[in-house]
Structure 1
């Protein structure tokens, strides 16, 4: 069931990124497959940042550092994902909108360990 949960998380993330593309003027994703690839790239870049700097700096960390690292990850992802373009301001606005959407549709952190999810 862990694989299915991961697939669902990436699909939901791709849909959220497509919504953000409609809401944020300087953020554009070409379509569903680009958004899905973007979700994967954001997860990988976030994992790398967490490995280097620790959990408090990841996009899933709270506070201004997590917010800014989320914007940086979004901006860097455009160099890996085709059919995507974003300005620095667009990345900041996208990180803000994604944070707001995450309040209502939380997508669990991919860094969460299996034993933390299955306590009991």
Structure 2
């Protein structure tokens, strides 16, 4: 019972929890950028802005569509939505370039990294 209360606290989040998740997302975007052809982000501020944009887009998709936008959240639908979020983020983040193929591969890489790291990436 104590564990579910702790999960709810983390889900609603404190400022430190949100900042920690933001940093984790930026690090995972860096790893993804390194491993994925057709997916690049240049500059620390672009990584942080991309993390904010992707987190906000993910939140909006979950809120308004009721779909878990994590790459493996709802099977193929979640994977495709994650790729679309990554592709659209490039139009809001300077120094971020993503091809359609790069977005698909990045969604796969993020899904794998999401399984390894304890916090949800997308």
Corresponding residue of 1:58:
69
Corresponding residue of 2:83:
71
Aligned Cα root-mean-square deviation (Å):
1.8
Corresponding residue of 2:48:
36
Corresponding residue of 2:9:
none
Is the deviation greater in 28-37 or in 93-102?
A: 28-37
User: In structure 1, the residue corresponding to 2:77 is in which secondary structure?
Assistant: helix
**Is the contact made by 1:15 and 1:32 (CA closer than 8 Å) also made in structure 2?**
no
* Structure 1: tracts of 5 or more residues without a match: 111-120
What is the TM-score of this pair, normalised by structure 1?
0.83
* Structure 2: tracts of 5 or more residues without a match: 1-12
Residue-pair matches, total:
109
Corresponding residue of 1:46:
58
| Residues 1-120 of structure 1 mapped to structure 2, 5 A cutoff | 2-54=14-66, 56-59=67-70, 61-108=73-120
Residue 104 of structure 1, CA deviation: 0.7
Q: Distance in 1 between matches of 2:42 and 2:119?
A: 22
Q: Distance in 2 between matches of 1:5 and 1:57?
A: 20
Deviations, residues 34-55 of structure 1 (Å, cap 9, x unaligned): 111111101111122222211x
Deviations, residues 73-94 of structure 1 (Å, cap 9, x unaligned): 0000000000000000000000
